[in-house]
Amino acid sequence: MASETIRFVRRAILALELLDPFTGEPIYREVKLTAWDKDGVPVAGQPVVNLSRRFVWWNYKLRGDDQPVPGLPENPIARIRVAPPSPYGPLDVDLEETPPVEGLVSRFIPIDPSYRLPAGVTAIAGSLVEGDMPVAGATVSLAWIENGSAPLAGVNVPSGVSLDKGQFLAATRAMPNRLANLGEGPRARVFVTRASERRQGDHPLEEGKLNAMGALDWATLEAIA
């Protein structure tokens, strides 16, 4: 007697695309992902990397049956923790805060201090501290400003992340319509996010170069309401 063939149907729950902030190339090798549902329960099963180098979570069901296969993702994914290899930093993806578009979530991934910056990029390197203590796990980003105004739009790139000794690297693209420093030179606003608190401070930068700024003290930054 021939054995009965069991057929499954599958449905993509979510696709996650991780991109290098400068090259735009997908990052997918040696990336560790942990996902939770809206109740904080870990989602069973691991995503697969498809031909587009995106991570895809699938839900499998028996054909003609509404019940999911045990041990595979069923509930919608609400949060993902991304742990990439160096020179990239960890990333938390909150899908309730920024829902997927047609099942796809695309994120630029943070960089760490070992990232090799392209020529002509403006960046700062330093150590984030609070008093004498290093601050790890904070995100640091840059935005251009002029004359104390609000940050200029369209010139930001994703943030860097501070490591165990507080060291960080944050970068931004060239200012629009600016090829060189004029007068006292442009200034950049540094944004630091630590847990749920965000602070900022303004710093003069030399455009198109890596600027060493030494210690950046969390206590001296202005809180953002």
pLDDT of the residue at 181: 40
* The predicted structure's pLDDT at residue 12: 76
The number of beta carbons lying within 10 Å of the beta carbon of residue 212 is 9
Q: Over the chain, what HEC string results?
A: CCCCCCCEEEEEEEEEEEECCCCCCECCCCCEEEEEECCCCECCCCCEECCCCCEEEEEEEECCCCCECCCCCCCCEEEEEEECCCCECCEEEECCCCCCECCEEEEECCECCCCCCCCCCEEEEEEEEECCEECCCCEEEEEEECCCCCCCCCCCCCCEECCCCCEEEEEECCCCCCCCCCCCCCEEEEEEEECCEEEEEEEECCCCCEEEEEEEEHHHCEECC
Residue 159 has pLDDT above 90, yes or no: no
Confidence check: pLDDT of 47 > 60: yes
Joined together, the tokens standing for residue 192 give 């630091």
- Domains, the chain, in order of start with CATH, read 8-108 (2.60.40), 122-223 (2.60.40.10)
Whether 217 shows a pLDDT value over 90: the answer reads yes
Segment 171-199, tens digit of pLDDT: 876 665 554 444 455 677 888 998 889 99
**Confidence at residue 146, expressed as pLDDT on a 0 to 100 scale:** 65
Task: Tell me phi and psi for residue 144, to 5 degrees.
Answer: -70, 145
pLDDT of 48 strictly over 50: yes
pLDDT of residue 156 exceeding 50: no
Residue % of the chain over a pLDDT of 70 = 76
Segment among 1-5, 18-22, 156-160 with least mean pLDDT: 1-5
Instruction: Tell how far CA 63 is from the center of its chain.
Output: 38
At 56-94, the pLDDT tens digits run 988 766 555 555 555 555 557 899 999 999 999 889 999
pLDDT value for 175: 60
